[in-house]
Amino acid sequence: MMLEFSFHILPLRVFISCVGLVGNVFLIFSIIQTRVSSVKTFELFLLGLATANLEEIVIVNIYDIIILHRSHVVSDAWLCRSLKFLTVLGEISSILFTVLISVYRYQKLRDADKRVHLSIYLDNIRAAWTAIRLCVGIAIFLSAPIFVMNLQGPTGSLMGNHTWNHTGCPPDFFLCSKDHCPTVHRIYKYTFILLCYLLPLAVVTLTSCLIVAVLLGPRTAVKPIASVSGSTQIGRRRKVRGLHRSTIAILAAMALFQVDWTLYLVFQMTFNATDNPFWAELEFFISTSYTSISPYVFGIGKSLFVFKNFWKKSRKDPVVDN
């Protein structure tokens, strides 16, 4: 029944994956075509997010479609663990970059009228790269225990008689039987859920509320200065409109993030993969919906998905810095 259900929804899985691949690749190329001296920290964070999304989409399809749905027996436990490690690594990295983007945007909006042209800490390129390395390092650290997790029961076979038994690679790396689930295994599971899902979800929700409060709060009117040229004022107004459009896009992406990972937590805490044979499909659609849609939301908000601008960038001759 599980394989028959998976076969029927396979076209939908392929469609969502293709949408995600195109969106993330387009976002990456739109950013890397910008001159190095012109790249801003926000674009670096978007580049990290798109790369993590792309890696997750590719690996999760290799893991789910080739192994789980094509009945390939995984005799090598390290192959199974490696695929799960890469899947979780991309997923956590995507979550952490989303948190970083939400915090960064709130920092940019907070007290913007008082700060005027003064930059914040994350505007510094070195600080931005440090934050990116920190996100990747945390993702690797939290994903690494997968290599020592006990994916099998005490008899050396997978837990119970389930539809994924023939693959030798369970769809949920937290999977363990009710009769054999070590305490360390449970501790890691709930610690992982707390640090990788609950805490980021709380941070994103809080920063989203704070951003909305800033946007809806009283604004200090800035009086025009006589010495400032009209073109400068027009440039500032365009910059403010661009910031506002980008902020709205970030809020939309944050809302999608909250819906997706709230659903994931509900299913994770309510159902058990051993009792629900459709868990692999649910996890795929919940996680992949964010990684596939978010690049379009961010790209449109940042005007990176304007095909006319993309075409102009691609036709420009390369600039050689002296």
d(CA 171, CA 74): 12
pLDDT at 135: 94
> How do residues 232-273 score in pLDDT, each as one tens digit?
555 455 555 656 778 888 899 999 999 999 988 888 777 666
pLDDT at 155: 39
Q: Is residue 46 in a domain?
A: yes
d(CA 250, CA 31): 17
* Distant-in-sequence, close-in-space partners of 57: CB < 8 Å, separation ≥ 6: 17, 20, 21, 24, 90, 288, 291, 292
* Distant-in-sequence, close-in-space partners of 288: CB < 8 Å, separation ≥ 6: 16, 17, 20, 56, 57, 60
pLDDT band (50, 70, 90) for residue 116: low
Q: Is residue 168 in a domain?
A: yes
CATH of the domain at 117: 1.20.1070.10
Which residue would you say has higher pLDDT here, 236 or 21? 21
Q: Is residue 239 in a domain?
A: no
pLDDT at 168: 53
User: What single letter denotes the amino acid at residue 73?
Assistant: V
- In whole angstroms, how large is the CA radius of gyration of the chain? 22
Residue 215, number of CB atoms within 10 A of its CB = 13
For 243: left if phi > 0, alpha if psi spans -120 to 50, otherwise beta; the answer is alpha
Domain count, the chain: 1
Lowest-confidence segment of 86-95, 212-221, 285-294 by average pLDDT: 212-221
d(CA 234, CA 64): 52
Tokens 């030798």 found at: 168
Q: Do 47 and 32 contact (CB within 8 A), yes or no?
A: yes
pLDDT at 302: 75
Q: Is residue 70 in a domain?
A: yes
By C-alpha distance, which of 128, 177, 190, 120 is closest to 151? 177
By C-alpha distance, which of 222, 204, 212, 178 is closest to 265? 204
pLDDT band (50, 70, 90) for residue 225: very low
Take residue 20 and report the two structure tokens written for it: 């995600």
Q: Is residue 80 in a domain?
A: yes
Lowest-confidence segment of 21-30, 76-85, 254-263, 271-280 by average pLDDT: 271-280
pLDDT at 89: 92
Query: Averaged over 40-60, what is the pLDDT?
Result: 91
Tokens 């707390």 found at: 194
Q: How far is CA 88 from CA 109, 142, 197, 278, 307, in A?
A: 32, 9, 12, 19, 33
Q: Is residue 115 in a domain?
A: yes
Q: Is the pLDDT of residue 100 over 70?
A: yes
**Range(s) of the domain holding residue 110:** 11-151+162-173+182-217+245-315
pLDDT band (50, 70, 90) for residue 186: confident
Angle at which helices 77-109 and 230-270 cross, to 10°: 140
Q: Is residue 320 in a domain?
A: no
Which residue would you say has higher pLDDT here, 100 or 219? 100
Lowest-confidence segment of 24-28, 242-246, 273-277 by average pLDDT: 273-277
CA-based max dimension of the chain: 82
pLDDT at 153: 44
Q: Is residue 156 in a domain?
A: no
Query: Averaged over 28-43, what is the pLDDT?
Result: 77
Q: Reduce the secondary structure of 91-136 to three states and give it as a string.
A: HHHHHHHHHHHHHHHHHHHCCHHHHCCCCCHHHCHHHHHHHHHHHH
- What does the mean pLDDT of the chain come to? 75
Q: Is the pLDDT of residue 228 over 80?
A: no
Q: Is the pLDDT of residue 106 over 60?
A: yes
Q: Give the count of alpha carbons within 13 A of 170, CB side only.
A: 25
Lowest-confidence segment of 18-22, 230-234, 297-301 by average pLDDT: 230-234
> How do residues 121-141 score in pLDDT, each as one tens digit?
888 888 899 999 999 999 999
